[in-house]
Amino acid sequence: MSSGLAVNTANFEQEVVKSTIPVLVDFWAEWCQPCRMVGPLLDQLAEEYSGRVKICKVNVDEENDLAGSHNVVSIPTMVVYQDGQVVRQQVGAVPKAQIAAMFSDLVRAD
């Protein structure tokens, strides 16, 4: 699966809510084929936007309460946070460009 930072109930606030850069949280599961399709795209984006966007992963099988608190009913669900707030959400596997478009306007220019 993707090499994004694994987040859970214990570290979600620190890694996502308190992040100083935009965060894309991918709610996924090992058995989910569309999740497996999105994983490599997220890896590529994590590399391309290194230091400007944080890519995090929440395994819904292991973090059911966290997924429930975000009203995740289908996976993959990708949620973008900025300044601790949800600013965008996408359900389902989509092309890399569409994922990048979720946060590209939030990223500081280098």
Residues designated catalytic:
32, 35
Residue 21 tokens, joined: 């850069």
Terminal Cα-to-Cα distance of the chain (whole angstroms): 29
Q: What is the CA 27 to chain-centroid distance, rounded?
A: 7
Nearest to 29 by CA among 39, 19, 21: 39
Phi, psi torsion values for 82, nearest 5 degrees: -140, 130
Q: Is 62 helix (H, G, I), strand (E, B) or coil?
A: coil
